[in-house]
Structure 1
Amino acid sequence: MHDNGSDLRTITLHNGVAMPSLAFGCAFGDWVGRTAFQGFLPEQAWRAISLALDNGYRAFDGARVYGTERILGTLLGQRFASGELSREELFITTKLAHPAAPPHINISHRRTWDADKVEDIAQKVRDDMVDTLDDLGLGYVDLLLMHWPGSFSENTTGDPDFPRKARATIWRTFCELADKGAARAIGVSNFTIGHLRQLMEDVPESERRPTVNQVEIHPYCRDPQLETFCREQGIVVTAYAPFASGAFDLLRNPTLTAIAERHGKTTGQVVLRWHVQSGRTALPKTSKAARMAENRDIFDFALSDEEIQATDSLGTGEARRTCPDPSLVA
């Protein structure tokens, strides 16, 4: 049975931290080949994040690799200075340990790294965290995620267990950062069941299992087994690319448009309602103020079990992804 009666505006992580069910995504640019330029375009964040703040967003999902943390930090600082906002009203997520990107993508090599090319993994994570907090102008983040479980390229160390050991090292460093108060909660991103099982075996303390696993989920890209596993472990699933980043004509799907018409809502609102009603949190991103307001206006209607199932059934074939497949990461 899907929860369609409660407000669903927040979800409580297993360590007791309340996390908003919708956060504004702070990655801008194109890294999936839709335009000639491939890489991040942080300059687009200035206007978009300003509009998001104006439209009531208080949760922002960023990452070291996006190049937008200084922009977010500056815009938040202006509102701290005016008294319009306080730190306690915000929920800020960042992600560290993004592997080196393919050479054709214009992403800074200083913001990405492969664990097998780093002398001291733990120190690299600590240094990146200092840089991230400096850019944000904050003393702590609300959620810190390991961006990917490992490298997109082959492990060069000769040790087949190296990727697993590297994940455990990064995770123990995250635990240390959380102990110091640099992060209120810690989690992972793009982890499979296998990655999660290994991590929980290697760092077995119960309170140290990830609070969140952020993965690509939309009606054309689902992993029910992963979601079931996470639910059993008390790990909240966050959907990035909740609309498939505009790919595959998802928002014109006739099943979704019919549901939207029945509720007097947009297709995007139906997709976001499907996410939160299914127990996930989601990261909608748009540069249009009207769409930002629309995306937050999903708490005054509920999908029926039949509508949830009809949406679920759109993703029963092979997953259509806009980002790399995490199952290919060792």
Structure 2
Amino acid sequence: MTKTVPTLTLNDGHTIPQLGFGVFKVDPDETMRIVTDALEVGYRHIDTAAIYGNEVGVGDSIARSGIDREDLFITTKLWNDRQGTESVFDAFDESLEKLGLEYVDLYLIHWPTPAQDKYVESWKALEKIRETGRARSIGVSNFLEPHLQRLLAETDVVPAVDQIELHPAHQQPATTAFARRHGIQIEAWGPLGQGKYPLLDEHVVAIAAEAHRKTPAQVIIRWHLQTGNIVFPKSTRRERMIENFDVFDFELTRSEMSAITSLERVGRVGAHPNEVN
């Protein structure tokens, strides 16, 4: 499949594919097959994390793909129990080794874990990792506006991205507005609502899907893209990967975008960032 995925420019000058593939809850034993399918479909942006336990499988699929490393964008994340200066360096080394890579394109602090009060210290360690070139860009995940404000006040590098739970039923307007004001790109995890909210059954989504001869999932992914979010839906089925990737030949109208945006309900699928420690 030869479709060009649009890219966004990060605040450090690097570019990131706006559509990627996530491997959250992908069985480590199945990861190589699933990521290989995704790469064959056309995905070039893969998002993993240390806690997922599948970095080795991601690395194996990359090694066997024959795709030039420069054509891939690979993200992994620091888990909560490794926050703190020296443990960050060790955790990063372990992730690189498992991935079999000399560098990652993006390294994230997975959660702020405020009870530990180590995310500022950990961020300063990420700044040093970025200086070595082994992480081309650095960012955060699940950070709310107060966490971002503290990083900006106490450290030197503005995060390139903030990866947060974001879907039409939970759009986090305060966090996204603050991030965009400071040049921080938003990545959306759980972009389809993860089944908790029946977004695919919403009338306005169905109407748009019918109008464009697309599926409800394709309509919501398109909503993310036109909103300016970086999005990486996860699927273990090749046919669904193909469907999720086939979103570049139509455009939602302004009224369709507004109708989907109006589905905001203020409610999380995942845990509150202040409670993950």
Whether the TM-score (by the shorter chain) exceeds 0.5 is yes
Distance between the aligned counterparts of 1:297 and 1:282, measured in 2?
Answer: 14
Q: Deviations over 1:69-96 (max 9, x none)?
A: 00011111122xxxx3111110000110
Cα RMSD of the aligned pairs, angstroms, is: 1.7
Displacement of 1:287: 1.3
Q: Deviations over 1:305-326 (max 9, x none)?
A: 21111111111x332x221112
Displacement of 1:248: 2.5
- For residue 158 of structure 2, the aligned residue among 206, 209, 223 is 209
Instruction: Give the alignment of 1:284-323 within 5 angstroms.
Output: 284-315=233-264, 317-319=265-267, 321-323=268-270
Q: What corresponds to 1:94 in structure 2?
A: 76
Question: Is the Cα–Cα contact under 8 Å of residues 8 and 276 in structure 1 kept in the other structure?
Answer: no
Distance between the aligned counterparts of 2:246 and 2:31, measured in 1?
Answer: 22
Q: Which has the larger radius of gyration?
A: 1
Q: What corresponds to 1:149 in structure 2?
A: 112
Displacement of 1:132: 0.3
Distance between the aligned counterparts of 1:78 and 1:45, measured in 2?
Answer: 13
Unaligned runs of 5+ in 2: none
Displacement of 1:328: 4.1
Q: What corresponds to 1:12 in structure 2?
A: 9
Q: TM-score, normalised by structure 1?
A: 0.79
Q: Which amino acid aligns with 2:260?
A: T
Instruction: Give the alignment of 1:222-241 within 5 angstroms.
Output: 222-241=171-190
Q: TM-score, normalised by structure 2?
A: 0.94
Which 4+ residue blocks in structure 1 deviate beyond 3 angstroms? 327-330
1:187 matches 2:187: no
Instruction: State the percentage of identical aligned residues.
Output: 38
**Partner-residue secondary structure (3-state), 1:248:** coil
Displacement of 1:44: 3.2
1:43 matches 2:29: yes
Distance between the aligned counterparts of 1:45 and 1:78, measured in 2?
Answer: 13
Distance between the aligned counterparts of 1:24 and 1:306, measured in 2?
Answer: 28
Q: What corresponds to 1:107 in structure 2?
A: none
1:28 matches 2:25: yes
Instruction: Give the alignment of 1:113-152 within 5 angstroms.
Output: 113=81, 115=83, 121-150=84-113
Unaligned runs of 5+ in 1: 1-6, 30-40, 100-112, 116-120, 156-161
Distance between the aligned counterparts of 1:43 and 1:324, measured in 2?
Answer: 27
Q: Which amino acid aligns with 1:78?
A: R
**Partner-residue secondary structure (3-state), 2:198:** helix
**Partner-residue secondary structure (3-state), 2:174:** helix
1:178 matches 2:178: no
Q: Deviations over 1:258-305 (max 9, x none)?
A: 111011111111101100100111011111212111211111111112
Q: What corresponds to 2:150 in structure 1?
A: 198
Question: Is the Cα–Cα contact under 8 Å of residues 177 and 183 in structure 1 kept in the other structure?
Answer: yes
**Partner-residue secondary structure (3-state), 2:266:** coil
Displacement of 1:124: 0.5
Q: What corresponds to 1:159 in structure 2?
A: none
Distance between the aligned counterparts of 1:66 and 1:245, measured in 2?
Answer: 17
Q: Which amino acid aligns with 1:296?
A: F
**Partner-residue secondary structure (3-state), 1:93:** strand
